[in-house]
């Protein structure tokens, strides 16, 4: 229930109403004065120049009158409708992550009951809540083929081809909340790839294309980029002695680039392996060593696992990814525990099983972020 009166700057209100002429604005002021006389509004005037109207306030007790005048929905009714939408969604049994679905729904409902939105889920927009929760359910209730294009996924969900792209920002925020991960979780985590996937890298790379040779890395002072579309139609060559994928594309990637002054390495920005990253790794020689520098929480080791699935014939070495305890670090979520449990069942991840077990025993993420470690390139001395 509202406890503070709604207030609006008078001039801004007139502009928003499209009242531009002096005659229209004077007429609006006369109507406002009349409504003030009826006790409907409170007009706030300049402290010294009383002829100047500065703000208009709507007393809390008059909100019902204003809604009736403009046929506006009752916010209490909207909130109750949105709560009903969430309760209905929670009655669905999620075939893959039933506990996460129940926990997420309970958190959204608790926020709505307290009058708080869980952005981008707004309790004033029950139909949007219904649509977005249903979309999260359908996206996470199935296993998508690696490399599925976002537009193809939309069509498989009986949506128009651009629907997922239109709502991508909201969906990635909601996926982060659903999977109990901080911030946004990209659609790549569901194996969905954008058609405009771009590889960001540093180091020597030559693309042999049907129309000739391209060398996007010829300027080595900064990172280079190439689209998945070009990678798909090219064969690749490199003089690098190894590949180093780096999970965080910001500070740790820049740190790796700075260390790569001799261009001995092909440094690749890779959180969850996108379509462009997968195309690069698939086309590089199987004998080229591959190292990965990532976070040491469950999600970080999960990314390592996915990188190893791209070209099983080439080992991917976990580089500087030893789990370390940290007092006061974030507690493990139920999702973290389940991901770690699945990784412990994978014989291909055996060399990090000890790290996962120490993390589970501590019950915390530990000192997991890449930024806390000083990167040394493989084969270099610190």
Q: Are strands 198-202 and 192-193 parallel, antiparallel or unpaired?
A: unpaired
Kindly state the tokens that stand for 106.
Answer: 């309970």
pTM: 0.67
Where in the chain are all domains bearing CATH 1.10.10?
6-70
- Map residue 254 onto helix, strand or coil: helix
Q: Is 165 exposed, middle or buried (0-12, 13-18, 19+ CB in 10 A)?
A: middle
Strands ordered across the beta sheet of 290-293: 224-227, 198-202, 265-269, 242-246, 290-293, 316-318
* Fold annotation for 198-372: Dna Topoisomerase Vi A Subunit; Chain: A, domain 2 (3.40.1360)
Least confident of 29-33, 98-102, 128-132: 29-33
pLDDT 10s digits, 233-267: 888 989 999 999 999 877 889 899 989 888 889 99
pLDDT 10s digits, 159-191: 888 888 889 889 999 999 998 887 788 888 888
Return the CATH number of 6-70, one of 1.10.1740, 1.25.40, 1.10.260, 1.10.10. Answer: 1.10.10
- Map residue 313 onto helix, strand or coil: coil
Q: How far is it, in rounded angstroms, from Cα 289 to Cα 310?
A: 14
pLDDT at 52 > cutoff 90: no
Q: Are strands 290-293 and 242-246 parallel, antiparallel or unpaired?
A: parallel
Please give the mean pLDDT across all residues of the chain. Answer: 86
pLDDT at 58 > cutoff 50: yes
Q: Is the peptide bond between 335 and the residue preceding it cis, with omega within 30 degrees of 0? A: no
Provide the pLDDT confidence category of residue 1 given band limits of 50, 70 and 90.
very low
Determine the pLDDT at residue 178. Answer: 94
Determine the pLDDT at residue 138. Answer: 95
Average pLDDT over residues 53-67: 74
- Say if residues 324 and 287 touch (Cβ distance below 8 Å): no
Determine the pLDDT at residue 363. Answer: 95
């Amino acid at each position: 229930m509202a406890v503070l009166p709604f207030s609006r700057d008078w001039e801004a209100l007139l502009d928003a109403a499209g009242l531009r002429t002096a005659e229209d604005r004077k007429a609006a002021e006369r109507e406002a004065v009349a409504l003030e006389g009826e006790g409907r509004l409170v007009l706030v005037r300049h402290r010294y120049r009383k002829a100047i109207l500065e703000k208009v306030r709507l007393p809390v007790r008059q909100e019902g009158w204003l809604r009736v005048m403009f046929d506006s929905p009752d916010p209490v009714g909207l909130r109750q409708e949105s709560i009903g939408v969430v309760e209905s969604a929670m009655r669905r049994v999620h075939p893959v992550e039933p506990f996460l679905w129940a926990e997420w729904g309970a958190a959204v409902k608790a926020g709505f009951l307290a009058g708080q939105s869980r952005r981008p889920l707004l309790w004033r927009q029950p139909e949007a809540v219904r649509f977005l929760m249903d979309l999260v359910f359908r996206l996470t209730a199935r296993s998508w083929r690696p490399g599925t294009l976002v537009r193809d996924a939309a069509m498989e969900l009986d949506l128009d081809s651009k629907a997922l792209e239109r709502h991508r920002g909201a969906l990635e925020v909601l996926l982060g909340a659903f999977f109990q991960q901080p911030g946004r979780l990209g659609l790549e985590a569901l194996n969905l790839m954008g058609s405009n996937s771009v590889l960001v890298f540093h180091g020597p790379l030559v693309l042999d294309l049907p129309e000739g040779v391209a060398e996007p890395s010829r300027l080595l002072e900064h990172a280079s980029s190439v689209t998945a579309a070009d990678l798909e139609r090219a064969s690749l060559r490199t003089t690098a002695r190894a590949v180093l994928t780096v999970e965080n594309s910001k500070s740790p990637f820049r740190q790796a680039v700075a260390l790569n002054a001799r261009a001995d390495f092909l440094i690749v920005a890779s959180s969850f392996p996108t379509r462009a990253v997968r195309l690069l790794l698939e086309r590089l020689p199987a004998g080229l060593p591959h190292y990965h520098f990532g976070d040491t929480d469950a999600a970080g080791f999960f990314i390592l696992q996915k990188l190893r699935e791209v070209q099983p014939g080439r080992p991917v070495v976990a580089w500087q990814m030893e789990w370390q305890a940290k007092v006061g670090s974030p507690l493990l979520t139920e999702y973290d525990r389940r991901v770690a449990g699945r990784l412990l069942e994978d014989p291909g991840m055996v060399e990090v099983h000890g790290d996962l077990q120490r993390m589970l025993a501590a019950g915390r993420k530990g000192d997991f972020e890449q930024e806390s470690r000083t990167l040394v390139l493989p084969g270099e001395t610190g």
